Chains A and B, each alone.
Chain A
Amino acid sequence: MAEMPSPEASGKMESLSENVVFKGYKTGLTLVIPEVGSWEGYLQDLRIRLEQSHDFFMGAHIVIELGKRLIAEKERSALRETIQAYGLNPRFAEEIKNKSSAANEIEKTDEVDQFRATITVKKTVRSGQRISFEGNLVIMGDVNPGAEVIASGDIVVLGKLRGTAHAGAEGDETAKIVAFQLRPVQIRIAGVITRDSESGPKAKYLGPEIARIKDGMILVERVSY
């Protein structure tokens, strides 16, 4: 377990212009550490993120993207160990191929990629836990009240959705939220927010439901394919 951030460290984190970013591409998970800014600050931020993600990334392969930043071999192995401590398998981007720069790579992927990366979470997301992903998110379990699931693409819950869900978090209005049982506290798609009706707490179970945007409003209906 990493130590919790000291107040000083979290203050430093806020002053950073950018933070470390986890990105999901068709090729897999990528960790982008900005080229400029305090290395220590980013490391701290990374630890906080990994701490918050609990065992969410457990066993995943991750490519570390440093851009043009040059770091000493010591720092390199320290970073690798930090990430391994959370159960991930890190590799450095330049170890795979050291030609194309980070920025080009990202743009190219976005252009070409019609299919978003999708990850599957095989557990119940409990209160206070937050799962966010650039791509589609499939949860094999429930999303309990007080939990948040966020995806830039669609969200599928193979269970009961009772927490907060945000699909199309980067503005994709075609994103959808599907659940076996859709009883969320709040759902958001792109910039549209809707909340649960406050009338009957135990409405009749109708079967799987889907939420999507229609005419600027979130519409929830039964899934009928």
Chain B
Amino acid sequence: MAGMVIVITSGKGGVGKTTTCANIGSGLANRGFKTVLIDADIGLRNLDVVMGLENRIVFDLVNVAEKTCKIRQALIKDKRFENLYLLPAAQTKEKDAVKPEQMVELCEELRKEFDYVLIDCPAGIEQGFKNAVAGADQAIVVTTPDVSAVRDADRIIGLLQAREIADPRLIINRLRPDMVRKGDMMDICDVNDILAICLLGIVPDDETIITSTNRGEPAVLDANSKAGQAFRNVVGRMLGEEVPFMSLDFDLGWMSKIKQRFIKK
């Protein structure tokens, strides 16, 4: 069976696309699926750093697209997993160095060999976005509970639907239970109310993510990390398992807020 090509996108920058991509990829590989991560953020590549594979890059996405090397030569095998590979972006080129048709071709090639092809999409809705979504079957939209991030996610969902990637799924990243409880942050209901798409996961704001990102070790492998647990749950849901949403300590505040709403009405 041909593999699935999933693009991870957000519109707004800095909401955690790359971290999400690294974690979901590692999570899928950990479950035994043959997975490849494509960094489509040409000129601002990060995924290699987050994965701790920067020093192994020889060829990159642009070389593959221009056919100056074979796909196999550009793929970097992960340190930890046998079945996880990275196709890094070029750092010295720009987004228009690759055309959407080339991405489609590349995705078609890769899906023959891999179970999952994850594409780390750059921020914005320009050429880089168009390249990243060109070959994708599915999309995961990452947002933080900010008004501006949600607005951009909404725009992205519209653009994805216009490209017939009909049912994007949502990950709400960096939720701060304490702030939600105080009413200083949008809660899940608010976000869901506007975006109204299937929720794939809620990742709490977690300091361990920063250290694990800097060290190049995805948090999903850290048994003590809350964010890591959230990403493991996301992977479970992607594989069709029924995983209940994590019982974070905001549950109480969230439920009581719903109750309050009912009382108001």
Task: Say whether A and B bind each other.
Answer: yes
Q: Which residues on A are within 8 Å of B, measured CB to CB?
A: 1, 54-55, 123-129, 142, 144-146, 162, 204-205
Q: Counting CB contacts under 8 A, is B152 at the interface?
A: yes
In the complex, the answer to whether A127 meets B154 with C-beta atoms within 8 Å is yes
Cα A54 to Cα B166 with chains together (Å): 13
Pick out which of these stretches binds chain A: B31-39, B60-68, B156-164. B156-164
In the complex, the answer to whether A146 meets B196 with C-beta atoms within 8 Å is no
In the assembled complex, the CB of A125 is this many whole angstroms from the nearest CB of chain B, namely: 8
Known: A54-B158, A124-B196, A126-B157. A146 touches B151 (CB 8 A): yes
Known: A127-B152, A127-B154, A205-B265. A145 touches B159 (CB 8 A): no
In the assembled complex, the CB of B144 is this many whole angstroms from the nearest CB of chain A, namely: 16
> In the complex, what residue of chain B is closest to A162 when comparing beta carbons?
B194
Which residue of A55, A124, A204 is within 8 Å of B264 (Cβ)? A204
Q: Which residues on B are within 8 Å of A, measured CB to CB?
A: 100, 125, 151-152, 154-155, 157-159, 161-164, 194, 196, 264-265
Which residue of B154, B161, B162 is within 8 Å of A144 (Cβ)? B154
In the complex, the answer to whether B154 meets A126 with C-beta atoms within 8 Å is yes
- Binding site secondary structure of chain B: helix
> In the complex, what residue of chain B is closest to A123 when comparing beta carbons?
B161
In the complex, the answer to whether B163 meets A128 with C-beta atoms within 8 Å is no
In the complex, the answer to whether B194 meets A145 with C-beta atoms within 8 Å is yes
- Binding site secondary structure of chain A: loop
Q: Which 8 A-B pairs have the closest CB atoms?
A: A126-B158, A54-B162, A127-B154, A127-B155, A128-B155, A126-B154, A129-B158, A144-B154
Cα A16 to Cα B24 with chains together (Å): 50
Residues of A near B125 (CB, < 8 A) are: 128
Residues of A near B196 (CB, < 8 A) are: 124, 142
> In the complex, what residue of chain B is closest to A146 when comparing beta carbons?
B151
Cα A128 to Cα B160 with chains together (Å): 12
- Residue among A125, A128, A146, A162 with the most chain B CB within 10 A? A128
> In the complex, what residue of chain A is closest to B159 when comparing beta carbons?
A128
Residues of A near B157 (CB, < 8 A) are: 126
Cα A126 to Cα B157 with chains together (Å): 8
Residues of B near A127 (CB, < 8 A) are: 151-152, 154-155, 158
In the assembled complex, the CB of B140 is this many whole angstroms from the nearest CB of chain A, namely: 17
Residues of B near A1 (CB, < 8 A) are: 100, 163
Cα A144 to Cα B191 with chains together (Å): 12
Instruction: Add 17 more A-B contacts to A145-B154, A145-B194 (CB < 8 A).
Output: A1-B100, A54-B158, A54-B162, A55-B164, A123-B161, A126-B158, A127-B151, A127-B154, A128-B125, A128-B154, A128-B159, A129-B158, A144-B154, A144-B194, A145-B151, A146-B154, A204-B264
Cα A43 to Cα B163 with chains together (Å): 22
Residues of B near A129 (CB, < 8 A) are: 158
Cα A114 to Cα B162 with chains together (Å): 34
Known: A127-B152, A146-B155. A55 touches B194 (CB 8 A): no
The contact sample of 30 A-B pairs, CB cut-off 8 A, is: A1-B100, A1-B163, A54-B158, A54-B162, A55-B161, A55-B162, A55-B164, A123-B161, A124-B196, A125-B158, A126-B154, A126-B155, A126-B158, A127-B151, A127-B152, A127-B158, A128-B125, A128-B159, A129-B158, A142-B194, A142-B196, A144-B154, A145-B151, A145-B154, A145-B194, A146-B151, A146-B154, A146-B155, A162-B194, A205-B265
